[in-house]
């Protein structure tokens, strides 16, 4: 999927979905998912059968005045080279499984609820 916007719909796919090139993803229910270069707004992800969710070079954000940013993911997660945008007061991120965060940029207050392993990430506040 390229330059697509998925709004207010539940995607139920049997196999693998890959989203590239600045897509906006909302309300996806998938088996396995890799998201590259996407803009991710408030969401809750639950993938079937403990499949892994991967984010590469993504931007996590909320619309202005939609704070705090809320993200809930039930599966193992790998987040690499992503940016959590600064246009919200804080993020409430609930990872219900293991998560690896590497080379990411965080610009606001964060609350993590998970077994979180962070490697070479910047947790500076502006």
> What is the reported pLDDT for 77?
79
> What is the reported pLDDT for 105?
76
Is residue 47 within 8 A of residue 23, CB to CB? The reply is no
Average pLDDT over residues 2-24: 43
Question: What is the Cα–Cα distance from 58 to 103, expressed in whole angstroms?
Answer: 12
What are the extents of the domains in the chain?
A: 5-119
Task: For 31-61, write each residue's pLDDT tens digit.
Answer: 566 777 777 765 555 555 556 778 888 777 6
The closest of 61, 122, 57 to 86, measured between CA atoms, is 61
Average pLDDT over residues 4-33: 46
The closest of 101, 23, 26 to 66, measured between CA atoms, is 26
pTM: 0.56
């Amino acid at each position: 999927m390229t330059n697509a916007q998925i709004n207010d719909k539940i995607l139920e796919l049997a196999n693998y979905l890959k989203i590239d090139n600045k897509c906006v993803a909302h309300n996806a229910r998938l088996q396995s998912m890799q998201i590259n270069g996407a803009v991710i707004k408030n969401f809750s992800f639950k993938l079937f059968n403990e499949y892994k969710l991967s984010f590469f070079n993504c931007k996590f954000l909320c619309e202005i005045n939609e704070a705090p940013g809320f993200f809930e993911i039930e599966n193992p997660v790998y987040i690499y080279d992503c940016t959590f945008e600064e246009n919200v007061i804080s993020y409430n991120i609930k990872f219900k499984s293991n998560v690896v965060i590497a080379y990411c940029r965080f610009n606001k207050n964060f609350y993590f609820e998970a077994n979180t392993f962070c490697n070479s990430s910047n947790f500076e506040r502006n």
